[in-house]
């Protein structure tokens, strides 16, 4: 399992490659890829601060470098996790095609942050009305997390043309922790809940619960933080 994430690093404007960032300070944008199974850093690249987090070329480059660090026999079946900021259609297509490889022995899968728009909100309301939510994993003991729920909302989003085979969209909800109130959207504040949506083509180990991180307390502040992306277990499909 390879995780990729970008971080803005402040730097004096005279530094080579430093550039104004969307957060208002000059600096660099560092992309890092790690192996979740071992905790090892596989690759890191330094970019100007104005490089977008969802730049497909940059994300594909860092993941290509990361895969190259794996033993050859570990490169055939890989799950890539990228947060919502790094999401792009081109990146997903690249992962689903195993980097353009034609060999059937390669099966690369993705778990990436997905948009949370009015369409996803409407699907969530259907889940509420029909009782489609299932208990979510990620509890402190590795079991069910209290007051956290997930649902496969793929069928509730209407047509999703152009996405790879087995593409699914998963929604997660849990009580709105005070830590996230300042970053919460109007919909979340209204419903006093934190919502996250993820896209995946993961096919192994489906089960009624969904593991999305293992911490007993809320994870990092980004809406679709890497540690909260699904890794090993799933929920039934809503229809």
Q: What pTM was estimated for this model as a whole?
A: 0.77
Alpha carbons 96 and 93: distance in angstroms, whole number: 5
Strand partners, 95: none
Helix, coil or strand: residue 11:
coil
HEC secondary structure over 124-164: HHHHHHHCCCEEEECCCCCCEEEEEEEEECHHHCCCCCCCC
pLDDT in tens for each of the 239 residues of the chain? 999 988 888 887 777 778 787 778 888 888 999 999 888 999 999 888 788 888 889 999 999 999 999 998 899 999 999 887 788 889 999 999 998 887 788 889 999 989 899 999 999 999 999 999 998 876 667 677 788 899 999 999 988 888 988 899 999 999 988 888 888 889 999 999 999 999 999 875 543 334 333 222 233 323 334 344 444 443 434 44
Q: Which residues have C-beta within 8 Å of that of residue 70, sequence separation ≥ 6?
A: 35, 42, 78
pLDDT value of residue 172 = 93
Alpha carbons 62 and 30: distance in angstroms, whole number: 10
Phi/psi for 8 (5° steps) reads -85, 130
For 36, the token pair is 């979740």
**Checking DSSP bridges between strand 77-82 and strand 40-48, what pairing results, if any?**
unpaired
pLDDT value of residue 214 = 27
B/e letters for 49-71, b = 16+ CB within 10 Å, e = fewer, are bebebbbbebbbbbbeebbeeee
pLDDT value of residue 212 = 37
pLDDT in tens, 23-75: 788 888 889 999 998 889 999 998 887 888 888 899 999 999 999 999 988 99
Q: Where are the beta strands (DSSP E) in 21-165?
A: 26-35, 40-48, 77-82, 107-113, 134-137, 144-152
CB-side exposure of 9: number of CA atoms within 13 Å? 15
pLDDT value of residue 142 = 65
């Amino acid at each position: 399992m390879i995780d990729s994430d970008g971080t803005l690093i402040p730097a004096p404007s005279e530094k080579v490659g430093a550039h104004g960032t969307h957060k208002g300070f000059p600096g660099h944008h560092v992309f890092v890829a790690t192996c979740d199974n071992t905790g090892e850093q596989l690759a890191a690249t330094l970019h100007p601060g104005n490089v977008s987090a969802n730049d497909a070329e940059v994300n594909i480059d860092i993941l290509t470098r990361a895969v190259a660090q794996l033993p050859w026999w570990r490169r055939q079946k890989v799950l890539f996790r990228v947060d919502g900021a790094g999401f792009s259609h081109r990146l997903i297509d690249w992962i689903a095609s195993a980097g353009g490889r034609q060999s059937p022995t390669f099966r690369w899968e993705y778990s990436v942050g997905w948009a949370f728009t009015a369409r996803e909100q409407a699907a969530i309301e259907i889940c509420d009305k029909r009782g489609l939510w299932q208990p979510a994993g990620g509890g402190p003991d590795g079991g069910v997390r209290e007051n956290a729920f997930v649902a496969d909302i793929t069928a509730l989003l209407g047509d999703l043309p152009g996405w790879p085979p087995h593409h699914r969209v998963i929604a997660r909800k849990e009580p709105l922790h005070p830590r996230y109130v300042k970053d919460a959207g109007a919909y979340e504040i209204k419903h006093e809940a934190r919502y996250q949506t993820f896209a995946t083509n993961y096919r192994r180990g489906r089960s009624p619960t969904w593991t999305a991180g293992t911490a007993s307390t809320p994870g990092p502040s980004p809406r679709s933080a890497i540690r909260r992306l699904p890794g090993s277990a799933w929920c039934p499909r809503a229809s």
